[in-house]
Amino acid sequence: MGMTQFIPFSRDQAFLLPPDAKDWLPADDVAHFVVAAVDRVPLGAFAVRPIPGGRAQYHPRLMLAILIYSYANGIFSSRRIERATHRDIGVRYVAANLHPDHDTIAAFEAAFLQVLLLARETGLLRLGTVSIDGTKLDANASKIRSVRYDRAKALQEKLTADIAALTAQAEAADTEAQPDPQALPAEIARREALRAKLDAACARLEEQARADAEAARPEYEARKAAYDAKKGRRGRPPKPPEDDPPPTRQSNLTDPDSALMRRSDAHEYRQAYNAQAVVCAEGSQLILATNLTACPSDAPSFAATILGMEHGIGLPTTALADTRFASGEAVAALKARKIEPLVAIGRTQPHRPYNFRPSPEPKIPRRITEPWRLTMLEKLDTEDAKALYARRKQTVEPVFGIIKAALGFTRFHLRGIAKVTSEWTSIALAYNCRRLHRLRQA
């Protein structure tokens, strides 16, 4: 090896940990910011459930700090977080050298607001123009576990017949010698469990169909009254809303709250949720509000998401959104609250001159007649509106890229819309901690 010098090492060398775990962390590590931010959260914001027997439990601030710091570093699984309290120096410091089990849960809503208030106090957040967008994130369920209503009804009948046949076979076998007396009961139990899931799926679809029909009934009654008032040739009467679900409507047996959706016509269908975020377009690029729906369309929740900020950081002055949020009702609701919406109006998508795929048939441009759309087009044609709207793409879309690529969050780990909503809020909180920590260093 010649005269090459190597630093001597020995894995058997004993050493002492520093008296303060912070000495092993860089001074600019995000762990210090997370701990300081969580200390601001009032204890009253946590719903602490007493443990039977009066045993001591982990402090909610400790648990919240562990979860935020772990999420900010791409550790999402509860078991991986528990393992990181032993292996990761940052997590070990935030956990105060304790090792909570993976079943402990903390709330995030209060901490989300406290981080935004801290950003405003330090002058890093100015509430004015915001951008809103949504992204489809995979649910913790497979799309092959989705079943159509008509198929579920057919499977119910088949399972009922199979269970009856197996039950009769089991009763007949009681008088005979059986090599495995538990085989038939296990087969019956599996089929009964599947039938119970199909029963629940059909009940959900039927309840949803009845709710949709009830919501559509006032509009039907108005159209029916207008049709009856006509004279002469009146055309076809309006069709009443159906109380039964369409045969093609589907429900997922693993996570019933999720839905089949896709990003665009060029993408495949996924079992997913629509995760939305409102991002500051004044320079901080912080997430100011979140929303999560099982509806592929963004427009129905546009106004509710923006107006919901009133109970958090406050209402903005301008909201930027792409064409998927185009809704006359939402635009009117925002204007009524003195919020100026700038929403792109959809037009025929231009295709690349050297497209790798065969060019589709050219579409006839959609004729725009709605007054609010014409007004929006006229407004977006001004230089000031163009400059303002240009902020949308460069503020909100990079946020989703950072969450998916830098944090590594590409699918939900929990099931059910309530739990998934909390998970999405926690991811936004972890992103905000990373972002605010970097802004304070700039």
The string of DSSP codes covering 99-138 is: ---TT-----HHHHHHHHHHHHHTT----SEEEEEEEEEE
Same domain, 279 and 246: no
Task: Examine residue 378 and state whether it is found in any structural domain, yes or no.
Answer: yes
Number of folded domains that form the chain:
3
Same domain, 244 and 283: no
Residue whose C-alpha is closest to residue 422's, from 47, 118, 34, 84: 47
Task: Examine residue 6 and state whether it is found in any structural domain, yes or no.
Answer: no
End-to-end Cα distance, the chain: 46
Q: What is the pLDDT of residue 361?
A: 73
Task: Examine residue 176 and state whether it is found in any structural domain, yes or no.
Answer: yes
The parts of the chain modelled with pLDDT lower than 70 are 1-21, 43-55, 101-109, 173-183, 231-234, 347-352, 360, 442
Same domain, 138 and 179: no
DSSP state of 152: H
Same domain, 208 and 291: no
Same domain, 342 and 424: yes
Task: Examine residue 358 and state whether it is found in any structural domain, yes or no.
Answer: no
Residues 300, 301, 304, 305, Cα dihedral to 10°: -160
Same domain, 287 and 413: yes
Same domain, 337 and 248: no
User: The domain that contains 405 carries what CATH number?
Assistant: 3.30.420.10
Same domain, 405 and 284: yes
Q: Which two tokens stand for residue 433?
A: 């901690």
Q: What is the pLDDT of residue 11?
A: 45
Length of the chain: 442
What is the CB neighbour count within 10 angstroms for residue 74? 12
Q: What is the pLDDT of residue 369?
A: 84
Same domain, 295 and 434: yes
Strand 259-261 to 250-252 pairing: unpaired
Same domain, 330 and 419: yes
425: left (phi over 0), alpha (psi -120 to 50) or beta: alpha
CA 109 to chain centre: 15
Same domain, 138 and 152: no
Task: Examine residue 263 and state whether it is found in any structural domain, yes or no.
Answer: yes
Q: Which residue range forms the structural domain that includes residue 221?
A: 145-227+237-252
**DSSP states along 417-441:** HHHHHHHHHHHHHHHHHHHHHHHHH
**Last-in-domain residue among 218, 252, 286:** 252
Distance CA 321, CA 298 (A): 10
Q: What is the pLDDT of residue 1?
A: 45
Q: Which two tokens stand for residue 296?
A: 């592929």
Q: What is the pLDDT of residue 368?
A: 83
> Cβ contacts of residue 323 below 8 Å, gap of 6+?
343, 344, 345, 346
Q: State phi, psi for 394 to the nearest 5 degrees.
A: -85, 0
Whole-structure pTM value: 0.80
Task: Examine residue 36 and state whether it is found in any structural domain, yes or no.
Answer: yes
> Cβ contacts of residue 91 below 8 Å, gap of 6+?
66, 69, 70, 73, 75, 81, 84, 85
DSSP state of 416: S
Task: Examine residue 8 and state whether it is found in any structural domain, yes or no.
Answer: no
Same domain, 248 and 264: no
Task: Examine residue 4 and state whether it is found in any structural domain, yes or no.
Answer: no
Residue whose C-alpha is closest to residue 261's, from 137, 414, 416: 137
Per DSSP, what are the bridge partners of residue 137?
A: 273
Residue whose C-alpha is closest to residue 147's, from 189, 188, 202: 202
